[in-house]
Amino acid sequence: MTSKLEQLKQFTTVVADTGDLDAITRLKPVDATTNPSLLLKAAFLPRYADLLGSAMQGCQGDVGLACDRFAVAVGQEILKVIPGRISTEVDARLSFDTEATLRRAERLVELYEKAGVGKDRVLIKIAATWEGIRAAKRLERAGVQTNLTLLFAFAQAVACADAGAYLISPFVGRIYDWYKKSEGKDFQGADDPGVQSVTRIYRYFKAHDYSTVVMGASFRNLGQIEHLAGCDRLTISPDLLQRLSDEDAPLPRVLTAGGEAEPRHAFDEPDFRWALNEDAMATEKLAEGIRQFARDQEKLEALLTDKR
**Domain total in the chain:** 1
Q: What is the pLDDT of residues 182-226, one digit of tens each?
A: 999 999 999 999 999 999 999 999 999 999 999 999 999 999 999
Q: Give me the active site residues, please.
A: 125
* Model pLDDT, residue 259: 77
> Picking from 11-20, 98-107, 164-173, which range would have the lowest pLDDT averaged per residue?
11-20
What is the percentage of the chain residues whose pLDDT exceeds 70? 99
* Model pLDDT, residue 27: 87
- Average pLDDT of span 145-166: 98
* Model pLDDT, residue 261: 78
Given pLDDT bands bounded at 50, 70 and 90, which one contains residue 308?
A: low
- Asked if pLDDT for residue 283 goes beyond 70, the answer is yes
Given pLDDT bands bounded at 50, 70 and 90, which one contains residue 274?
A: very high
- Nearest-angstrom CA–CA distance, 55 and 34: 17
Query: What is the gyration radius of the CA atoms in the chain, in angstroms?
Result: 19
Given pLDDT bands bounded at 50, 70 and 90, which one contains residue 260?
A: confident
Q: Indicate the pTM of the whole model.
A: 0.95
**Residue 11 maps to which CATH number?**
3.20.20.70
Q: What is the pLDDT of residues 5-17, one digit of tens each?
A: 999 999 999 999 9
- Nearest-angstrom CA–CA distance, 270 and 107: 31
Q: What is the pLDDT of residues 50-103, one digit of tens each?
A: 998 899 888 988 999 999 999 999 999 999 999 999 999 999 999 999 999 999
Q: What is the pLDDT of residues 126-153, one digit of tens each?
A: 999 999 999 999 999 999 999 999 999 9
Domain that holds residue 104: 4-306
Mean pLDDT of the chain, nearest integer: 95
